[in-house]
Amino acid sequence: MTELFLSLYVGSLFLIVSTVAPILLRTETNKDIAGRFYGKILWRFYGIAFFLLLVYLILSRNWLGLLPLGVLLVNVGISKWLREYKKTLGNIEDYAFNSPERAKFRKVSYVSTFTLLINFFVATIILLRGG
């Protein structure tokens, strides 16, 4: 039963990293709207993810489950920083593609997605080890 919660977490991470992020973050037009939409998806995912991981930790008593929880907290911190930085920038499309502000935002966005990918691998390994 505990594997169900971890499986749902791994599956939702896979969906975000393999489908949602590439589609929304590689759009050529309306990057600001796509980014806001992706941010809303991520913040809703974080709430569900914390619930799934906490239930998994409580039911399984597998302390390895703290690893994906910790990485998820790192990702929340990155997302919070991105949201605040975005507020100072305004519309990202007002900046040239290679401007320092936009390049910084893009790099941190990639770090956020990469962190989700690492979390996917960590949680998958825990799941494959028997939950």
pLDDT at 28: 67
Could you give the CA distance from residue 71 to residue 88 in angstroms, rounded to a whole number? 26
Of 97, 75, 93, which is closest to residue 35 (Cα–Cα)?
A: 93
pLDDT at 23: 82
pLDDT at 131: 64
At 115, the amino acid letter reads T
Mean pLDDT for back-to-back runs of 10 residues, the chain (131 residues) = 89 89 76 82 93 92 88 94 90 86 89 92 90 64
* pTM of the full structure: 0.84
